Structure 1
Amino acid sequence: MKRLPIISRLLILAVVIVVSIGVLLHWTRVQAPDSSHAPLELAAPPTGGDFTLDSAAGPVRLSDLRGQVVLIYFGYTSCPDICPTNLVYIANALRALQPAELERTRVLFISVDPERDDPSRLASYVGYFHPNILGLTGTPAQVAEVAKHYGAAYRRVDDTGSAMVYLIDHSAFTYVVDPSGRLVQTLGHASPPETILAAIRTAFGAEP
């Protein structure tokens, strides 16, 4: 029987390895569901409100973004799964907007880990997802004050067995602010891009 060329055999081996890794990851999730990083519930009903925090380009004030739809999300750059999931969904929703809509839509990613997330680190992180996402931070007291207005919950959890040292458990809601600066909708964790897209367009439709 004729043997397969070495390139074909290597491709088959690569496919087998990738499939095996996928099966292993799936098995690990099934066998250890408690190891997942679960989001917290809201600490209080969100009311919204103006705030100023720091970006890599300087201070950003929410009221300076009037005329735009603003999505606000609280997370941190070392988040293992919850933040990347939501940011990918948000970025996909942004890519589905018409150019004129995209020009008037901004996302503010507010770090609940100001100890590690300086403005430069945040800019690098959010840049992987979409250019319309801005990373914001401040002092712990400033972040806590903003989080209080949006009902965002977070807490430090020590993880001394890893290089991370600690994780941040946090709520994972996306807040939709309309062009007048009013909080009009709160979307749950892992809301699909279609839901986010609809919320953005609804917020545009609420303009006076």
Structure 2
Amino acid sequence: MPALTRRCYATEQQKPEQPAPNPDEVAKKSTLLGQAPTRRPSVFTPTSAAVFILTLGGLVWYFRSEKERHVEMRKQQDKATYGRPKIGGPFSLLNQDNQPFTEKDLVGKWSFVYFGFTNCPDICPAELDKMTDVMNVAEKENGEVFQPVFISVDPARDTTKQMKLYLQDFHKRFIGLVGSYDETRAVCKKYRVYFSTPPNADPKDDYLVDHSIFVYLMDPNGQFVEAFGQISTAEEIIVKLREYMAEFKEKGHL
């Protein structure tokens, strides 16, 4: 018998796979057909917008407050670590009346302490004039609670007699202090003052003394407050003095 030929019939024609419709094309066709285009759902609703704004505001407030807290903490740490420089301390000299004067005589008044020498041609007289101007204003406002102190860094030539004569041109309550070379060097070391007078200087020689130019403000407890340089004006010193006196009073010292 002849072999049977098996016929295969396709039960269903397989359709080719169609790509996903493009939303933009669908919207375009819907518009052409007069149908309302399908809108995409928005993720930025009024509720989510409010949540976003509140969250952003909270983050800004948090980081700002944290920054301020860290800045204040750093200030407190620096103040506790460093504080004010350790300037001043025990010393013993003679005033222009040949009477002993020590660091204990600074207690009870606001003191302006300056280091110089009577043979100084210009800088020292200018600084003592500035101290006189400060004293005149300060005493007018607060009474006689201040004392200006002039410490010589020229022990070879500055005697008590020379100091008394020299200070007559400045504030009437200036206190002039002198001492031996070792005593002068010791007090300068306490106040971190540099001076160039050699220990074997001849008082008959004509020489100049190089030295630090600062006016040291000491509070009524005899503690260092601030050093004013040559560029500080009398007006600037008076402003700072008022601030320090107010702070001193707020702490209950006066």
- Please give the TM-score of this superposition, normalised by the length of structure 1: 0.70
> Which runs of 5 or more residues in structure 1 are unaligned?
1-44, 158-162
2:156 aligned residue = 115
Indicate if the aligned counterparts of 2:153 and 2:197 stay in contact, CA closer than 8 A: no
How far did residue 190 of structure 1 move? 4.2
**CA 1:88–1:180 in structure 2 vs 1: closer, same or farther (change >3 Å)?**
same
Q: 1:54 aligns with which of 94, 112, 117?
A: 94
Structure with greater proportional strand content: 1
SS at match of 1:166: coil
SS at match of 1:131: coil
Aligned pairs, number:
159
How far did residue 61 of structure 1 move? 1.7
1:104 aligned residue = 145
Deviations 1:114-139 (A, max 9, x none): 11100111111122110121110101
2:224 aligned residue = 183
Deviations 1:90-117 (A, max 9, x none): 1011111244734110111000001110
2:119 aligned residue = 78
Q: Where do residues 1-208 of structure 1 align in structure 2 (5 Å cutoff)?
A: 47-57=87-97, 58-99=99-140, 101-156=142-197, 165-205=206-246, 206-207=248-249, 208=253
Bigger CA drift: 170-179 or 95-104? 95-104
1:14 aligned residue = none
Structure 2 distance, partners of 1:155, 1:121, is 20
**CA 1:100–1:62 in structure 2 vs 1: closer, same or farther (change >3 Å)?**
farther
Counterpart AA for 2:168: G
> Which runs of 5 or more residues in structure 2 are unaligned?
1-84, 199-203
Kindly name which structure, 1 or 2, has the bigger radius of gyration based on alpha carbons.
Answer: 2
Structure 1 distance, partners of 2:185, 2:146, is 25
Deviations 1:54-103 (A, max 9, x none): 01221112212312001110000000111011111110111112447341
- Please give the TM-score of this superposition, normalised by the length of structure 2: 0.58
How far did residue 149 of structure 1 move? 1.0
Name the structure, 1 or 2, with higher relative contact order (CA <8 Å, separation 6+). 1
Indicate if the aligned counterparts of 1:89 and 1:191 stay in contact, CA closer than 8 A: no
Bigger CA drift: 84-93 or 51-60? 51-60
